[in-house]
């Protein structure tokens, strides 16, 4: 058997490098699916319908042979008129023909293997069940970095999305919601962008939760580059995935198509902050189109950054979300879902608690500056500690709860500054001197 005029041994070697051991009868289909991620753009419904009707190998063979008969018959069998079926298939073949070559497919696989990426396919135990709601617009395959098993557990996940040009208010709420969800054992899905996405990812990581990022470009180079380290951290404990192979650049259309993955993979979508033309509204509309619940966080009525959220609340029957409890209820869960306990010995927890006393409240910025953590990560840790009743918010900021259980510090007597009841200098210099 030869695929794309490649010997079976070569095909098995290539597929094995990104899939592991595969039964011989499945190798051709796996290779063909990978080839279709090179040939067709994301959300190409003609390709999706063709693969569903003919299977990936036969669909690829019909394209290689430039024989549209089987594809046309498949569309006619699905209730489409012969004339329209011929036109749709002819246009699709013209779209795919310029990319029809073995070398780009082989190069994508070899590059992915070098990056230690895996490919997850429909039918795998790791494949997100929610993608079925997309019908023929479902992804052909996923290129993945991280723990692929996480993808199979997203039926309880919540997507937290919003504006790139987020306000401090938006980032604060995103961190509170995402951190609270992660504490309760919910995976948090987002898009890896600046602003709300980044705040959600940082807060999830800050409480030791599971994060998932779907990207619009290939995983050989994270986009945006400024979030590369953040996305690398997401991949170490969760998953970063894309439906396009390495080497493919993100484009506006691919971003918009990527949004359907956020909506479909998750049990619910929460829009934290969005202007009237925000791409996050596109994610919300994808969710609504496939019957998934959507929540929106209200903002100041004078803020253009929240105008899109207000429109969702007013016109799209979105649920008002103000907390992780609301988001869990939106996703079909109980507000009393069991929380993940914070890890007392987590270095981030130790550093945050070391920056907070029991008398004078410290703002989030002060705690972040004193602890040496990013604001988003600080918010995530504070959210977990608040739920655990170790810290609380007062008018002036955050304080320790007297007598609460706290991690062991590295002071000479084994106590941290909070246990001693000494706030140190009000500007945090005592804390910084200890580091």
pLDDT at 423 over 70: no
What local confidence, expressed as pLDDT, does residue 74 receive?
77
What local confidence, expressed as pLDDT, does residue 379 receive?
79
Q: Which structure tokens are listed for 51?
A: 């693969």
pLDDT tens per residue, range 42-87: 999 999 999 998 999 999 999 999 988 888 887 777 677 888 889 9
Q: What is the mean pLDDT of residues 14-21?
A: 87
pLDDT-wise least confident of 57-71, 188-202, 288-302, 418-432: 418-432
Peptide bond just before 224 cis, omega within 30 deg: yes
Cite the DSSP H helix spans in 115-251: 168-183, 196-206, 228-237
What local confidence, expressed as pLDDT, does residue 101 receive?
92
Q: Work out the end-to-end distance of the chain between its first and last CA atoms, rounded to an integer number of angstroms.
A: 64
More confident residue, 396 or 246: 246
Q: Which structure tokens are listed for 384?
A: 């977990």
pLDDT tens per residue, range 368-378: 899 998 876 78
pLDDT tier for residue 312 given thresholds of 50, 70 and 90? very high
| Closest alpha carbon to 196 in 218, 223, 177 | 177
Cite the DSSP H helix spans in 97-195: 102-114, 168-183
pLDDT tens per residue, range 317-345: 899 999 999 999 999 876 555 455 556 67
pTM summary value: 0.78
| Closest alpha carbon to 105 in 57, 51, 38, 43 | 38
pLDDT tier for residue 235 given thresholds of 50, 70 and 90? very high
Domains of the chain: 2-112 (no CATH), 130-330 (3.40.50.450), 347-434 (1.10.10.10)
Mean pLDDT, the chain, whole residue set: 86
pLDDT tens per residue, range 381-416: 887 787 777 888 887 888 888 766 555 444 333 333
- C-alpha 363/C-alpha 394 separation (Å) is 10
- C-alpha 287/C-alpha 269 separation (Å) is 7
pLDDT-wise least confident of 187-201, 355-369, 391-405: 391-405
pLDDT tens per residue, range 140-179: 999 999 999 999 999 999 999 999 999 999 999 999 999 9
SS (H, E, C) 53-66: HHCHHHHHHHHHCC
């Amino acid at each position: 058997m030869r695929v794309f005029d490649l010997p079976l041994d070569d095909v098995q070697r290539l597929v094995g490098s990104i899939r592991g051991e595969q039964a011989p009868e499945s190798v051709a289909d796996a290779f063909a699916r990978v080839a279709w991620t090179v040939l067709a753009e994301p959300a190409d419904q003609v390709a999706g319908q063709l693969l569903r009707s003919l299977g990936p190998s036969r669909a690829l063979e019909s394209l290689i042979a430039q024989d549209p008969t089987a594809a046309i018959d498949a569309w006619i069998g699905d209730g489409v008129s012969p004339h329209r079926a011929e036109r749709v298939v002819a246009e699709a073949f013209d779209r795919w023909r310029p990319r029809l070559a073995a070398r780009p497919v082989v190069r994508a696989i070899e590059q992915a293997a070098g990056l230690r990426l895996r490919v997850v396919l429909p039918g795998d135990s790791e494949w997100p069940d929610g993608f079925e709601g997309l019908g023929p617009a479902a992804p052909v395959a996923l290129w993945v970095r991280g723990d692929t098993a996480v993808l199979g557990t997203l039926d309880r996940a919540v997507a937290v999305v919003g504006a790139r040009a987020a306000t401090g208010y938006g980032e604060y709420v995103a961190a509170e919601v995402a951190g609270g969800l992660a504490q309760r054992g919910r995976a948090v899905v987002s898009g890896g962008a600046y602003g709300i996405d980044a705040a959600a990812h940082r807060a999830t990581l800050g409480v030791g939760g599971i994060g998932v990022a779907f990207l619009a470009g290939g995983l050989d180079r994270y986009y945006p580059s400024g979030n590369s380290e953040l996305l690398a951290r997401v991949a170490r404990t969760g998953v970063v995935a894309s439906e396009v192979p390495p080497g493919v650049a993100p484009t506006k259309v691919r971003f918009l198509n990527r949004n359907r993955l956020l909506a479909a993979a998750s049990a619910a979508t929460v829009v934290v902050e969005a202007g009237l033309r925000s791409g996050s509204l596109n994610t919300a509309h994808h969710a609504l189109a496939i019957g998934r619940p959507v929540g929106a966080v209200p903002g100041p009525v004078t803020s253009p950054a929240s105008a899109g959220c207000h429109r969702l609340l007013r016109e799209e029957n979105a649920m008002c979300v103000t907390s992780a409890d609301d988001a869990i209820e939106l996703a079909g869960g109980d507000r009393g879902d069991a929380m993940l306990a914070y890890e007392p010995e987590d270095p981030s927890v130790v550093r945050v608690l070391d920056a907070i006393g029991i008398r004078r409240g410290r703002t989030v910025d002060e705690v972040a500056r004193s602890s040496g953590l990013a604001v988003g990560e600080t918010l995530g840790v504070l959210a977990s500690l608040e739920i655990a009743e170790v810290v609380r918010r007062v008018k002036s900021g955050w304080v320790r709860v007297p007598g609460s259980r706290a991690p062991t510090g590295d002071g000479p007597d084994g106590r941290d500054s909070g246990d001693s009841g000494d706030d140190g200098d009000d500007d945090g210099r005592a804390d910084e001197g200890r580091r």
